[in-house]
Amino acid sequence: MNPVSPELLRRFDIPGPRYTSYPTADRFVEAFGDADLAQALAQRRAGPAALALPLSLYVHIPFCESLCYYCACNKIITKKHERGTAYLRSLAREVDLYTQQIGQGQPVTQLHLGGGSPTFLSDEELSELMAMLRRNFNLVPGGEHSIEIDPRTVDAKRLDHLAQLGFNRISYGVQDFEPDVQQAVHRVQPFEQVAELMEAARATGFDSINVDLIYGLPRQTPQTFARTLQKVAQIRPDRIALYGYAHLPDRFKPQRRIHSADLPVGGDKLAMLSQALKVFQDVGYTYIGMDHFALPHDALSVAKRQGRLHRNFQGYSTQPDCDLIGLGVSAIGRIGATYSQNAKTLEEYSDHLDQGRLPVVRGLAMSRDDLARRAVIMGLMCQGQVVFESIELAWLLDFREYFEAELEALREHEGMGLVTVDESGIQVTAKGWYVVRAIAMVFDRYVQADRNRARFSRII
């Protein structure tokens, strides 16, 4: 039996944010620059017990050897590996600018290397990067240190090296195991190769191994995707991230190489999602929510059971909500009540650093309304509930009065059995958890005011 009906999936097959932040990154403005970030860092430094406040670090490595046609990430396609050496020098300069503001030795409980392909860097370069980070930050014992891996760029020896560097969580970019689909998106990697790497990673002893999948790719059908799902179930990663492909060729140039006629029709795409929900839960995965699955022993499942889930720019996390420093081209950070994003081109990024400036080109200082709505949206997305009193005490407002229009809009969701609303708060039901993005959107002031949502991916 399917955990959620196809009718419900069709009803909410609409565009909407993923809520890795609120407000979402499309609301950042160029009026926010490096001086605004410096002010936020100064406030952090002057705050009580500043050194005890943990940090999360994200490092963006933009390079890839070959282009994947579906990709919407900020990346640089090159086979010139010497570019990695110059980029590491830039990252070191950026870290120096941060430590001048907040001092060295700040505790870091979460580190994530993303891209692009972080494993584009050589073993020596990755060692140099980690040594630089450890010199400047205190990577505390027991922290979460993760890295995204292109399976075509590693072997068992490289996995051992990553473990020696302190990485305890890895994520393989798989997307699909069908050769025909892989050719259509220009990313060929045989199942046998990934299966061998999965065994090698287990032997190395990583705490958690994730696999990324995409449904809705060219030449995918429910029949072919069923084979991919069975192969994923066979190799049994600790976590699975399942994303719906958003075909936006006007925004992402590589996607213009995908023929629209090869894309699955809407009904087939929903069928693939429905298949995945059933297959993964049938073989023992917990549905974490919003694209994520995890085995019951995994820290993400444990955090969900204990009500400790959080979200950041990498998706669901077990780490407590904390300030985030984003390093590298296009990286996004959050300090206090501000968001900031680095320059998106290597040239502009380097130019800022050459001038001795943090490479911030846009961002946002959150208003009181933003912060209150952020708390509500993250409560729904992470704990599946909002307690009115907690929001009222934190933001000195009357919830039912302040969110009167939103509570009225929730009546439709309540009538569909997606939420329950009583005097004390809002509770997302088991069925509602599958469309929690749509429930959260009710409280998004920007989305509700802007009916042109075509810039977002579809929430199903």
Tell me the two tokens of residue 148.
């995204």
**Sequence-separated (6 or more) residues with CB below 8 Å from residue 183:** none
Q: Is 115 assigned to a binding site?
A: yes
Alpha helices in 47-187 (DSSP H): 82-102, 123-136, 156-164, 179-184
* Amino acid 459: pLDDT: 61
Q: Is 394 assigned to a binding site?
A: no
The CA distance from 284 to 49, in Å, is: 43
User: What's the angle, vertex CA 288, arms to CA 53 and CA 176, rounded to 5?
Assistant: 110
Contact between 196 and 175 (Cβ < 8 Å): no
Residue 7 pLDDT class (50, 70, 90 cuts)? confident
163-193 pLDDT tens trace: 999 999 999 999 999 999 999 999 999 999 9
Q: Is 128 assigned to a binding site?
A: no
Q: List, in order of start, the domains of the chain with CATH numbers.
A: 1-19+368-460 (1.10.10.920), 20-324 (3.80.30.20)
Percentage above 90 pLDDT, the chain: 81
Residue 2 pLDDT class (50, 70, 90 cuts)? low
DSSP string of 2-40, one letter each residue: -SS-HHHHHHT--B----SSSS-GGG-BTT--HHHHHHH
Check whether 133 has a pLDDT greater than 90: yes
Q: Are strands 338-342 and 332-335 parallel, antiparallel or unpaired?
A: antiparallel
Residue 455 pLDDT class (50, 70, 90 cuts)? low
* Amino acid 339: pLDDT: 97
The CA distance from 197 to 191, in Å, is: 10
Q: Which of 45-54, 96-105, 241-250, 425-434 has the lowest mean pLDDT?
A: 45-54
Check whether 426 has a pLDDT greater than 80: yes
Q: What is the average pLDDT across 214-234?
A: 97
- The partner residues of 342 in beta bridges, in order of sequence, read 360
The CA distance from 72 to 455, in Å, is: 13
79-109 pLDDT tens trace: 999 999 999 999 999 999 999 999 999 999 9
Q: Is 427 assigned to a binding site?
A: no
* Amino acid 255: pLDDT: 93
Residue 222 pLDDT class (50, 70, 90 cuts)? very high
Q: Are strands 338-342 and 360-365 parallel, antiparallel or unpaired?
A: antiparallel
Q: Is 332 assigned to a binding site?
A: yes
The per-residue b/e assignment along 373-390, b for 16 or more CB within 10 angstroms, e otherwise, is: bbbbbbbbbbbbebebee
Tally helices (H) and strands (E) across the chain.
Answer: 17, 19
**Distance set, CA 40 to CA 37, 195, 326 (Å):** 5, 45, 14
Q: Is 401 assigned to a binding site?
A: no
* Amino acid 111: pLDDT: 97
Contact between 331 and 59 (Cβ < 8 Å): yes
Q: Is 70 assigned to a binding site?
A: yes
Q: Is 276 assigned to a binding site?
A: no
Check whether 27 has a pLDDT greater than 70: yes
The CA distance from 73 to 62, in Å, is: 9
293-324 pLDDT tens trace: 999 999 999 999 998 998 888 888 888 888 99
384-417 pLDDT tens trace: 999 999 999 999 999 999 999 999 999 999 999 9
Residue 73 pLDDT class (50, 70, 90 cuts)? confident
* Amino acid 457: pLDDT: 61
DSSP string of 187-238, one letter each residue: ----HHHHHHHHHHHHHHT-SEEEEEEEES-TT--HHHHHHHHHHHHHH--S
* Amino acid 289: pLDDT: 84
Q: Is 94 assigned to a binding site?
A: no
242-271 pLDDT tens trace: 999 988 898 889 999 999 999 998 789 989
* Amino acid 4: pLDDT: 74
What angle do helix axes 346-354 and 82-102 make, rounded to 10 degrees?
50
Check whether 456 has a pLDDT greater than 80: no
Higher pLDDT, 4 or 305: 305
Check whether 1 has a pLDDT greater than 60: no
Residue 3 pLDDT class (50, 70, 90 cuts)? low
Q: Is 36 assigned to a binding site?
A: no
* Amino acid 151: pLDDT: 96
Q: Is 391 assigned to a binding site?
A: no
Q: Is 326 assigned to a binding site?
A: no
340-386 pLDDT tens trace: 999 999 999 999 999 999 999 999 999 999 999 999 999 999 999 99
Residue 458 pLDDT class (50, 70, 90 cuts)? low
Q: Is 382 assigned to a binding site?
A: no
